[in-house]
Structure 1
Amino acid sequence: MKIINLVIIVLFNFIGAYLSYQWCYSIIIRKHHRLPPELYYLICYGLCYFCFILISIFLLNKIKRPMVLVIFGVLIGIIIPAMPPIVQMLVMEDTNKFAFNLDFIMGMLGITSMITLNFIIYPAILLCCHYFIGGIQKISSKLALKQ
């Protein structure tokens, strides 16, 4: 049963990643040629969704109430996509006074999460996984009772 749950979580996260990527890169970012090439963006996005998969496994094992999953999903959907630009800004570039401005960092957080729509897609992924896994568990328990 654990393998089926893991497959469901990975499948729904891949679907969500594809939808979010299509929305963000194909519709918005491709139009602006000054932004990173598609390969770099895809690597960054893949890392974000790898984090989403790991967090999904943890959340779906610990939290059983759908509303709490939605609240955590919105918060995580806002924070995770904004981490690569903030880390790059704080670590890789020259440290200047502008990089440690909290208003600028919060602005970057808001812009990245608004563009990718992960604050909507990720809670939907969590809910789909929750109800799908719950449905499979009910069906398997009914089949076990009939045997």
Structure 2
Amino acid sequence: MSGHGAPSLHVDAAGARVAVVASSWHDEVMDGLLAGAQTALADAGVTDVTVLRAPGSFELPIIAQACATSGYDAVIALGVIIRGGTPHFEYVSAAATDGLARVALDTGVPVGFGLLTCDDEQQALDRAGLPDSREDKGREAVEAALATWTVLRGVRG
């Protein structure tokens, strides 16, 4: 795991309306992802934030789509899927990832991808933005979505 080569994406997004859609599994990891996302939103000047909870990661795309078609400027999707002993991991990971990409492409609304797909709980904790974590994927998802929103505003005029 390495953040080596990651861009600095901090933008001023004051005035943006943002939805954060977060799965309900793995409380400690999700608390870290949500905290990182909320800090990044505040740092970018975003004050109009709605946080919605999804039952799990599989449900992230449909809630993200509802937000994207309801006037939000960006949607941040946060979740964690940890590999188990069955193919469930592959099915849910692929469905959630493909669904979130489809939401962004079908609606033109940036979707910050904060869905962790990890082999074990420690990998998730290392990416959750907690005090002992190596990375903050909640923050990164917000920064990517807001940077994309800024570019799209320039393109669309």
Q: Same fold (TM over 0.5)?
A: no
Choose between structure 1 and 2: higher strand proportion: 2
Q: Which has the higher contact order (CA 8 A, sep 6+)?
A: 1
Choose between structure 1 and 2: higher helix proportion: 1
TM-score normalised to structure 1 length: 0.30
